[in-house]
Amino acid sequence: MKGLVWLLLLTTMTTVGLAQNKPNLKLWYTKPSEAVWENALPVGNGRLGAMVYGNVPQETIQLNEGTVWSGSPNRNDNPDAKAVLPEIRQLIFDGKQKEAEQLANKSIITKKSHGQMYQPVGNLLLTFAGHDTFTDYYRELDIERAVAKTTYKVGDVTYTREVIASLPDNVLVIQLSADKPGKLSFVTSFTSLHANVLINTTNRNELMLAGTTSDHEGVPGQVKFKSLARIKTKGGTVSANGQTLVVNGATTATIYLAIATNFVNHHDLSGNETERVTTTLDKAFRQSYAALLKPHIAAYQRYFNRVHLDLTSTDAARLSTDERLKNFRSTNDPQLVTLYYQYGRYLLISSSQPNGQAANLQGIWNRSMRPPWDSKYTININTQMNYWPAEKTGLSEMHEPLFSLIRDLSETGKETARVMYGARGWMAHHNTDIWRINGPVDGAFWGMWTAGGAWLSQHLWEHYLYTGDRAFLTTAYPILKGAAQFYADFLVEDPRYHWLVVSPSTSPENAPQAHGGSSLDAGTTMDNQIVFDVFSTAIRVADLLKTDAAFADSLRQMRAKLPPMHIGKYGQLQEWLDDIDDPNDKHRHISHLYGLFPSSQISAYRTPNLFNASRTTLTHRGDVSTGWSMGWKVNWWAKLQDGNHAYTLIQSQLTPLGVNKEGGGTYNNLFDAHPPFQIDGNFGCTSGITEMLMQSNDGAVHLLPALPDVWPTGSISGLRARGGFEIVGMTWEGGKLVNVEIRSMLGGNLRVRTPNQLKQSEGMLATASGPNPNEFYQTEETPTPIVATLTGPATPTPPLKPTWLYDIPTQRGKTYTLTAQ
């Protein structure tokens, strides 16, 4: 009897328990999703997205395709803006912000579309008669292989389903099997929320779903989409039944599903969705599941395997993912952080592929016809945050869809700059969509902000800093120049302070009480910082490409007249030109800390006063907030070199939804909760964890700048640093760096900053001082901060931990090993 119990235990452990034994990169659960979308597991290939519910008697696979958007090519500029601009500026300078906002609502905010909606395609349903009672249930998402799996037993038959969104073949493949011959029978059907969809079987024994996207805000819906599903079985039969495909008595069945649209680009819908979907499906259908699976995994792993992280594991890792999430705040589960970190990379690979669309507010996964904020692109933080992990976590190629969005905006945004503001160059306000709208939307409170395109443009420069790709920089230059030209024409002199300022503007979505609750202002800190970056980048690139010397000079002169950053009466970094911040303001946007991250204007070493003021500001704003806001805060606390505080934010983020009062958290499928689901928080936190372990934007490759006490031991490999350096491997123990191997892909001086002293080996290391001669580490000096007299006690600022700074002259292609003393 005892033996039998052991045998039973062993069997359970091998069938369902393997994942629990070895902590690995799987999200896994012992329950189906039921009706909860945020329990379902995402797969995607940057074009197709699917949410796999893992429900038993009726499986739902919710379907997305990246170009299924409401509307059609359109513009939403408001040409009335130009005439009212001087009056609005005057009102703002006269302190009549509320009146300025009213006028902007009337004459600047668009009278057309406020942006179109990213829409779902439909659901694939698989209905299994007689599967209401089941045992041994298990489902997982293996993010090392990009495969979702569900298994369960009905009687003595074990059923297994696997789902992939094939990267190379652009099809969803669903492989179903029974471990007893002939025991697999099910009905396949489509549903969709779109009006006027056509769902039927075709004479090629396939199931079809075809429709056209919605009209929205006066823009006719003209994206035609078509999905086709075909089934191959081992044993049994497949029959078309008008509206369903019926599989009977099979042992395995492979469902091949393709989706295509007529979308070519933001101004062209002349694609043939029928031809596209048929060609893709025909090609994939010739191959077996195994033949599709192998290249899919290989294509995925080519990106995913570039970075390995190990923060060590504890017993807490033995539980299912939802249980671990529940326990995270009260247990030590560093492996959940590793899983969450790598999940961010999985989500970026799955939602953003070259030649596809950029990851939107929900990546590529959306079930709703009218999703929150249209699931479009909010470019006053959210879209940018999506791409923070791209370069540094070895996913540079995933950045490409954002670059093409920026390229498109730089074209469509020329007309916006001209007709709305009489300016050269290009611009975009705070939202855009697949049609690349640039006009101001939602109301002046949110939409009267001109720096969306300008901020995005800096991603092109960042790509260059990581890769050193001169050809890329040459094609990016006109875009960077256009962003600078816009502000060269748009800046006005502030009559009180005589600085050049952006007006009208906002500090995204926040409003000081002193302005009667209006958000409109001139010369907000974030704008000054963004214009500073836009000008500095254009100057740098013009110099590098030896072009436009006179233009660069004019930018230099204007840059010198931008407002400096100010430290206000609470010791805070001022959000506004006047010292009107409220230390009790808990607003989720802390836009003026753009200068600390993602920009490098505020530095522990170059601008210690601003650095300390940033800490005060961040302390005032508090920790718990919306998901993406907490994600940003992880990065900021990492930049402030406070690993323990950054970890507190990770804890707040990795909290089941509902526990943080008035804040976000995480759903069971580890999607970030604003709430609702918004993917930026996932990406923001992955970036933040990277910044805790390595930074490269302040004159050096800074190793372990913000290691929290809870991760005393660990290793990471594959991170990328600016200047083309790759952290081939880094290990630490007892909170101290042990060794690091760094490959230099571009040559040049490698300056490293370390938390403990390194061993000298063959005179390779020199103690560094002065500016880093490596051109990728040049930092523009920010205007000298103005420090106001402190009327209250300044927040005590903890001193920075000591660091060591070394220079290593490197050669392209060589790897350098550094060991601690």
Contact residues for ligand FUC, defined by CB under 6 A = 361, 373, 378, 382, 509, 588-589, 626, 628, 674, 678
Query: From the CB of 623, what's the least distance to ligand FUC, in Å?
Result: 16
Nearest CB to ligand FUC, comparing residues 418 and 589:
589
Residue 542: phi, psi to the nearest 5?
Answer: -60, -40
Q: How far is the CB of 785 from ligand FUC (least distance, A)?
A: 27
Nearer to ligand FUC, 515 or 674 (CB): 674
> Which CB, 67 or 506, lies closer to ligand FUC?
506
Give the sign of the dihedral formed by CA 770, CA 774, CA 775, CA 779. Answer: negative
∠ CA(585), CA(588), CA(592), 5° rounding? 80
Please identify, using beta-carbon distances, which residue of 438 and 641 lies nearer to ligand FUC: 438
CB of 173 to ligand FUC, least distance (A): 33
In what helix (H) or strand (E) does residue 694 lie, and over which residues does it extend?
strand 694-695
Residue 22, number of CB atoms within 10 A of its CB: 10
Nearer to ligand FUC, 589 or 751 (CB): 589
Least Å distance between CB 74 and ligand FUC?
A: 21
Copy the structure tokens of residue 719: 């991170």
Minimum distance of ligand FUC from residue 442's CB (angstroms): 8
Min separation Cβ 583 and ligand FUC, Å: 21
**Helix/strand/coil for 649:** helix
Nearest Cα to Cα of residue 810 among 737, 731, 738, 728: 728
Smallest gap, in angstroms, from Cβ of residue 377 to ligand FUC?
A: 9
Contact status, residue 456 vs residue 384, Cβ threshold 8 Å? yes
Q: Helix, strand or coil for residue 122?
A: strand
Instruction: Name which of 509 and 726 has its Cβ closer to ligand FUC.
Output: 509
* Least gap, CB of 380 to ligand FUC (angstroms): 6
Contact 706, 692 (CB under 8 A): yes
Question: What CA dihedral angle connects 507, 512, 516 and 521, to 10 degrees?
Answer: -30
Neighbouring CB atoms inside 10 A of 741's CB total 16
Q: Is omega for the bond preceding 504 within 30 degrees of 0, making it cis?
A: yes
Contacts of 116 (CB under 8 A, 6+ apart): 69, 70, 71, 74, 216, 217, 219, 374, 376, 433, 434, 435, 437
* Smallest separation, CB 642 to ligand FUC (Å): 25
CB 48 within 8 A of CB 63: yes
What torsion do the CA atoms of 322, 327, 333, 336 make, to the nearest 10 degrees?
30
Task: List b or e across 361-396, with b for residues whose CB sees 16 or more CB atoms inside 10 angstroms.
Answer: bbbbbbbbbebebbbbbbbbbbbbbbbbbbbbbbbb
Shortest approach of ligand FUC to residue 665 CB, angstroms? Answer: 14
